[in-house]
A and B are shown apart, each in its own frame.
Chain A
Amino acid sequence: MQESHPVNRRTFLKRAVAGTGAALLGPAVVRSSALGADGTVAPSNRIVMGALGVGGMGTGNMRGFLGKKEVQFVAVCDVDEGHRNRAKGLVEKHYGTGECETYNDYRALIGRGDLGAVCLAMPDHWHAIPVVAAARAGIDMYGEKPLARSIREGRAMCDAVHRYGRVWQTGSWQRSVGHFHRACELVRNGRIGKVQHVEVGLPTGGTSGPAKTVPVPKGLDWNMWLGPAPWRPYCHFRGSSVHFHWRWILDYSGGQLTDWAGHHIDIAHWGLGFDHTGPVEIEGKGEFPDEGLYDVLTAYKFTCKYAGGLQIVVANNKQQPMGAKWYGEGGKWIHVSRRGLKASDPAILREQIGPDEIHLYKPSDHKQNFLDCIKSRKLTITPIEAAHRSISVGLLGEIAMLTGRKIKWDPEKEEILGDPGASALLGRSYREPWHL
């Protein structure tokens, strides 16, 4: 970057859009000198952001970014009018202006042409399409886990993000927390010897009764909410509304298993250095509700065998403790969860990591890391390939339990071997008119 080209993404993109009919470019490298002496950032140097999906999670993420001095939110998008108006109010209150645009359709948000980054928090079945579109439009992305509802979608998202050199960060924030980082660094540097097997504990799901059709809540664009998923009438989703309880329905999510795969399987993989690979065999048993609206797995336990023989056993927390637990040699183990870090011998936790050893990505403020990487164009602490590989484990487990069969998986080609029925579950057809 040249000093004579100050970063003014909005102007720059407007010019680019005028010339080519599309939003194109990644934001420029912002040098530290672009920050004012008091740490404030001139509006022209801020990263122009939009929020796509502003329910509970999306609003939380947006609030996190609103607190960053180098960000300027200009637009929010949600298929629920109530959500988007509430988010607009938050943005405008924060900046003291009335300049936050609202959209019902993500294509209008992306088509603005001035966004440098978006934060995305839609239901899982709505992850792939806007991410691929945003990548094509040159927009950097902070997206929620799990990465995708299917492995084929996840790969398409990775390809698009890589093809267009976009900065991607997944909301798998545990990597930015000191004790998770510490656990993984100890495991990676052999402090428990060679890892023999790993246990990953995730939450247990629940059930519901049959659901009756009810009127679509005012302000909710139900057809758009369904998007590429199979049509169904709006029904009584239990509790509040569809905005949380979609997670218990297979058309939109894989339940607690896929929701949390992006946390604890992600951590297990990080500790093993498996961010670019996956298991070769997956086999397990799960319980699906035998009644009611919800149809995702409630209890589950499956074993993933990796090349070389290492096994990761994933189960709900009634069967093994929450978090990731690596078992090494000589009875040594390390267990990390949100409750803390434990080891078979406390001395393991006091071990130093020397200069010549593996140093994992240094943890810091998770959202700040995304913004820093937008400037440096480096990989974030949670790159998209890692997110794809962690949810792939959850999705392959789901396929093994849906079919009741052992799955043989080629992690290089990302193909299920010798089982067409199971292979069919790697992707999904989209309800028209949606396509990737």
Chain B
Amino acid sequence: MLIRPNATAVLAGLVALAALASVAAAQGDPYADIVTWKLGEQQSRKPMTTIEEEIRSADTGRLAVIEGKLLKALADPRATYGCKQWVCRMLRRMGTEKSVAALAKLLTDKPLSHMARFALQALPSEKAGQALRTALATTRGETKIGVISSLGFRRDRQAVPALARLAGGPHQPTARAAVSALGRIGGEAAAKTLQGTRVPAALASLKADAILMCADRMLAEGSLASAAVYYRKMAAPGNPTFIRLAAFRGLVLADKEKAVPAILSLMKDKNVELQRAVGKFITEMPGTAVTKSLADKLPTLEPGAQLVVLGALETRADKAAAPAVAKAVESTDADVRIAAVRALATLGSAADVDLLTRTAVAEDDVGSAATEALAHLSGEGVAQSLIKMLDSPDAAIRAKAIEVVTLRKEEAALPAAMKAASDADTKVRTAAYKALGAMAGANELGQLVQMLVKAATETERTALQQCLALAARRVEGAAGTAPVAAALGKARGAAKVSLLAVLARVGGDAALKAVQGELASADAEVKKAAVRALADWNDAQPLPVLLNVARTDASAANQVLALRGYVRLASLDSSRPDEQTAKMLADAMAVAKRPEEKKLILAALPKFACDDALRLAESCRRTPGLVAEARQAVKAIRSALVSTKMKVSAGSNGRAATAAIDGNPRTRWTTGHPMKPGDWFAMDFTTTVTVRSIFLDHRPSGNDWPQAWEAYISQDGQNWGRPIAKGKGSARGTKITLPRPIQTRHLKIVQTGSAKKRHWSIHTMKIDIE
């Protein structure tokens, strides 16, 4: 736990101190006050912030006045280090050529040289550059390195000769800084200088890096031919591979199409790293001519290189590569095939649908990749080509084509999918049912209903039932129900049973009316299917009907079915008050005859914890066969009631205490300060309960577990007596286990350890109550 700067931890004393300082500053001259300001002595920064605000709101004329005042403070013999440092910061923001002389004097002052550069480094005046170049000769050691660094940042090309001498000098840290600065300055003069400078072996790669930086600068400034000269030099064998790689990259950018032969030749290079980097170069090389050359080379490469080139061709997205990539789909190497198939998703067109569909039929990784590629393949005619595949003589192809049009949601394929629903091949028909379930609309519902009514086997009927339910649910309003309800009246036997199940999935008034009508059926199986449909409903609408069936139906099986459905629907999430649901479950309990249903009701009760639910559960505690379930329900309801009614408080940050019991692991109660002995968190259960243990979860805050704790109980919240348990916290969450189940109304946990940096936090808590 870390203290936020805007937390209440900002001490009142500091606020008062700041206020006093504010008054003092308002009374004095901030430019005079800053002179004696010292770092780290708890002095007010008000004089500084007053001037900073003045700078922010000043126009050019006023800024010149402020600059004069700042320079006066800088020159004051009493000026402290803290004052000078801060003045340099301000001169960085608004200093002009007028400040150069004063800042130049500080360049040789070891403690202040950096701050002088802070202001001078980006000052556009030539005098600033001159001051830094002069300081090259008058500074030593680390101070000189700082000056070199600033000249590099300024890209001071006038400093190149002097830096070149230092780059070849004996002092390695200085030489290192000079080489880096020359690279940062960039351009042809610096590159030429670096090329001709001998450096120790330890700096050779840094020098090569600096030359590349110079070439990059030439490239950025449009001197492509000059840049290419240096890239070629650095790309030559004999240079370190990482430099050659970077040089080839630069060459691609500078030489453009002229670099193609050099890059392609790398595919056969003995250096595997260069060979491997071709993919990146290929991606960055513009032009279809490059794509075609690469495509021609593709079959001649070994599989590893093919993977690289295929990936790069995919990224280039130049469709000229598609024919060669399509050929690679037929490779004998599975990884190459997968890479080719993936590339075709981007590069391919309608012409590749046949190949990809044939490939997708395989039940392996290549097949999966091809299916995914077909799902994403874009361009004119792709959908039509896929639909044509539905006429393939090969059933596996037809099934795959339907699967893909389903993934793509190609509604133009609906007629073909409808036709495929009558295909002789089972797999094709199954795929067609899925397609229709995903895409069919109001126009197709009538046909689907007829197909279901005429289904010859149970398997077909089940698949069509699922398909019809999905389609009918998607069609909003009566249009989704009407064809099914209309067919219900005429259907017989198994077909009728299936239609009832479909209506249960669709729901709504019209569907309910149709299903309710079948409760009067003379056919016992149909009536049972109607009860089952009501029990499977997706909302609470059939509750009264179900309760009535459970009470009055002559069939014991229907009674059970209806009662179970009633309990399920009553338990669905709703805005109904818990008391009302508890009453409904009490009605169900009154109707229930078998222990199985009574146990079901007891299991549902804790979700609707209220006094009525508790009474119902308690009333079953002595009922033979229900004792254990009733006890469990009572316990769960009591726990839920306690957590909703209980009140919490804390020794500090009490307003946030409820965050520990809101059930949300993202919110927490925390001490608001590093934990110390005596920090406490208390619970008032509002009634006497029997507590076994409490689990404190602080894991979302990492280390905020209590170092050590003591637990106290009280009946009045005032007198706590001696601790009833003690223990230590744990990173995995802290369990407060009481020595035995204890009856109490109040319980307090007192933190007894110390931690310098960590707070004590509670995100959620779980109370185990008997």
CA distance A389 to B247 in the complex (A): 26
Most buried by B among A20, A56, A421, A425: A421
Determine how close the nearest CB of chain A comes to the CB of B128; give it in whole angstroms: 10
Given A164-B242, A165-B249, A355-B378, CB of A26 within 8 Å of CB of B273? yes
Q: Is residue A138 within 8 Å, beta carbon to beta carbon, of the partner chain?
A: yes
CA distance A152 to B122 in the complex (A): 11
Interface-lining segment among B147-155, B287-295, B435-443, B727-735: B147-155
Tell me which of B3-11, B72-80, B535-543 binds A.
B3-11
A152 touches B153 (CB 8 A): yes
Query: Does A1 contact B216, Cβ atoms closer than 8 Å?
Result: no
Is B722 interfacial (CB-CB < 8 Å)?
Answer: no
Contact A425 to B93, CB < 8 A, known contacts A136-B209, A291-B21: yes
- Pairwise interchain contact A290-B49, C-beta atoms closer than 8 A: yes
Stretch in A96-104, A187-195, A238-246 touching the partner: A238-246
For the residues of B in contact with A, the DSSP-based class is helix
Q: Let me know if B122 and A24 touch, CB within 8 A.
A: no
Q: Which residues of chain A have C-beta atoms less than 8 A from B118's C-beta?
A: 230, 428-429
| CA–CA, A255 and B363, complex, Å | 54
Q: Is A376 an interface residue, CB under 8 A from the partner?
A: yes
- A20 to B181, alpha carbons, bound, how many Å? 23
Chain A residue nearest to B271 in the complex (CB): A25
A402: shortest Cβ distance to chain B, in Å? 7
The verdict on A218 contacting chain B, using a C-beta distance below 8 Å, is no
**A39 contacts B by Cβ under 8 Å:** no
Q: A22 touching B205 by the CB < 8 A rule?
A: yes
Contact call A429/B240, Cβ cutoff below 8 A: no
Q: From A3, A22, A210, A421, give the contact of B242 (CB < 8 A).
A: A22
Residues of A within 8 A of B93 (CB): 402-403, 421, 424-425
Which A residues are in CB contact (< 8 Å) with B113? 432
Which chain A residue has the least Cβ–Cβ distance from B410? A355
- With A248-B5, A433-B173 already in contact, the answer to whether A209 and B11 are too (CB < 8 A) is yes
One of B303-311, B496-504, B509-517, B625-633 contacting the partner: B303-311
Residue of A nearest to B112 (CB): A231
In the assembly, what is the distance between CA of A214 and CA of B322, in Å? 68
What 0/1 pattern do residues 21 to 60 of A give for CB contact below 8 A with B? 1101110110111000000000000000000000010000
With a 10 A CB-CB cut-off, give which of B6, B10, B113, B216 has the most chain A CB atoms.
Answer: B6
Which residues of B sit under 8 angstroms from A233, Cβ to Cβ? 39-40
B184 at interface, CB cutoff 8 A: yes
| Complex Cα gap A186–B206 (Å) | 46
For window 261-303 of B, CB contacts with A under 8 Å fall at: 272-273, 276-277, 279-280, 302-303
Interface check A8, CB cutoff 8 A:
no
List A residues 249-285 near B (Cβ within 8 Å): none
Of the 9-residue stretches B138-146, B562-570, B574-582, B585-593, which lies at the interface with chain A? B138-146
Q: Is B491 an interface residue (CB 8 A)?
A: no
Contact A240 B757 (CB under 8 A): yes
Give the complex CA separation of A289 and B414 in angstroms: 66
At the interface, yes or no: B45 with Cβ under 8 Å from chain A?
Answer: yes
Query: Does residue B117 face the partner (Cβ distance < 8 Å to A)?
Result: yes
Q: Across the interface, which residues of B come within 8 angstroms of A244, CB to CB?
A: 2
On whether A206 and B7 interact (CB within 8 A), knowing A230-B85, A423-B122, A429-B118, the answer reads yes
- CB closest residue in chain A, given B176: A435
Q: How far is the CA of A426 from the CA of B11 in the complex (A)?
A: 35
Chain B residues closer than 8 Å to A16, beta-carbon distance: 241
User: Is A204 interfacial (CB-CB < 8 Å)?
Assistant: yes
Kindly state the separation between the CA atoms of A241 and B758 in the bound complex, as whole angstroms.
12
Q: Do the beta carbons of B377 and A429 come within 8 Å of each other?
A: no
In the assembled complex, the CB of B190 is this many whole angstroms from the nearest CB of chain A, namely 15
Cross-chain contact A436 with B249 (CB below 8 angstroms)? no
Q: Is B245's CB under 8 angstroms from A211's CB? A: no
Provide the A357-375 mask, 1 if CB < 8 A to any CB of B, else 0.
Answer: 0010000000000000000
* Cβ-based interface call for B258 (8 A): no
Cα separation A402 to B93 with both chains bound (whole Å):
8
Contact with B along A188-218 (1 / 0, CB 8 A): 0000000000000000111111111100000
B106 CB–A CB distance under 8 Å: no
Residues of B within 8 A of A65 (CB): none
The reply to whether the CB of B692 lies closer than 8 angstroms to some CB of chain A is no
Other-chain contact of A165, B7, B49, B246 (Cβ < 8 Å):
B246
| Residue B462 lies at the interface, judged by CB distance under 8 Å to chain A | no
Q: Which of B384-425 contact A (CB under 8 A)?
A: 408-409
Rounded to whole angstroms, the CA-CA distance of A233 and B40 in the bound complex is 7
Residues of A within 8 A of B150 (CB): 429
Which chain B positions have C-beta within 8 A of A352? 409
A425–B41 contact, CB under 8 A? Answer: no
A294 within 8 A of B: yes
User: Which among A29, A210, A426 is the interface contact of B43 at CB below 8 angstroms?
Assistant: A210
- Assembly CA distance A22 to B209 (angstroms): 12
Interface size class of A (residues with CB under 8 A): 35 or more
- B528 interface residue (CB < 8 Å to A): no
Tell me if B123 is interfacial: C-beta within 8 Å of chain A: yes
B554 at the interface (CB under 8 A from A): no
Instruction: Give chain B interface residues in 144-195, CB to chain A under 8 Å.
Output: 145-146, 148-150, 152-153, 173, 177, 180-181, 184
Interface positions of B from 740 to 760, Cβ below 8 Å from A: 756-757
Interface status of A330 (Cβ within 8 A of chain B): no
- With a CB–CB cut-off of 8 A, which chain A residues contact B121? 424, 427-429
Check A165 against B205 for contact (C-beta < 8 Å). Answer: no
Contact (Cβ within 8 A) A431 B114: yes
Q: Could you tell me if A291 and B249 are in contact, using CB atoms closer than 8 angstroms?
A: no
CB-CB under 8 A for A292 and B181, given A298-B6, A429-B121: no
The contact of A291 among B46, B85, B209, B379, by CB within 8 Å, is B46
Q: Are B14 and A209 in contact (CB under 8 A)?
A: yes
Contacts of A434 in B (CB 8 A): 149
Say whether A210 contacts B10, CB under 8 Å.
Answer: no
The answer to whether the Cβ of B57 comes within 8 Å of any Cβ in the partner chain is yes
Question: Which of A33, A206, A424 touches B10 (beta carbons < 8 Å)?
Answer: A206
> Least Cβ distance of A188 to chain B in Å?
16
Closest-CB distance, A210 to chain B (whole angstroms): 4
* Contact status B205-A1, CB under 8 Å: no
Selected contact of A292 from candidates B9, B18, B273, B304, CB within 8 Å: B18
Closest-by-CB residue of B relative to A356 is B378
Interface centre among A56, A245, A430 (most CB of B within 10 A): A430
Cβ–Cβ < 8 Å partners of B36 in chain A? none
User: Do the beta carbons of B242 and A29 come within 8 Å of each other?
Assistant: no
| Residue B490 is within 8 A (CB to CB) of chain A in the complex | no
Q: Report yes or no: A212 in contact with B40, Cβ–Cβ below 8 A.
A: yes
Give the CA-CA distance A33 to B379 in the complex, in Å. 34
Residue A350 is within 8 A (CB to CB) of chain B in the complex:
no
Nearest A residue to B375, CB-CB: A355
Alpha-carbon separation in the docked complex, A240 to B94 (Å): 35
In whole angstroms, what is the CA distance A423 to B117 when docked? 15
Least Cβ–Cβ distance between B729 and chain A, in angstroms: 19
What CA separation (Å) do A31 and B206 show in the bound complex? 33
Contact of A435 among B13, B152, B240, B279 (CB under 8 A): B152
Per CB-CB distance, the 3 closest pairs between chain A and chain B, nearest first, are: A206-B6, A209-B14, A206-B5
Q: Contacts A28-B276, A165-B246, A291-B46 given; 15 further ones with Cβ under 8 A?
A: A5-B272, A24-B240, A163-B212, A205-B5, A206-B6, A208-B14, A210-B44, A230-B118, A240-B2, A244-B2, A290-B45, A377-B308, A404-B58, A421-B95, A427-B121
Interface residues of B (CB under 8 A from A): 2-7, 9-11, 13-15, 17-18, 21-22, 39-46, 49-50, 52-53, 55-58, 63, 85, 89, 92-95, 111, 113-115, 117-124, 142-143, 145-146, 148-150, 152-153, 173, 177, 180-181, 184, 201-202, 204-206, 209, 212-213, 216, 240-242, 245-246, 249-250, 272-273, 276-277, 279-280, 302-305, 307-308, 311, 315, 335, 375-379, 382, 408-409, 756-757
List 27 A-B residue pairs with CB atoms under 8 Å apart, sorted by A's residue number: A1-B308, A16-B241, A20-B241, A21-B201, A22-B205, A24-B240, A29-B276, A29-B308, A152-B153, A159-B213, A163-B212, A165-B277, A206-B4, A208-B14, A209-B17, A233-B39, A240-B3, A290-B49, A377-B279, A403-B93, A404-B58, A428-B121, A429-B114, A429-B118, A430-B114, A433-B177, A435-B177
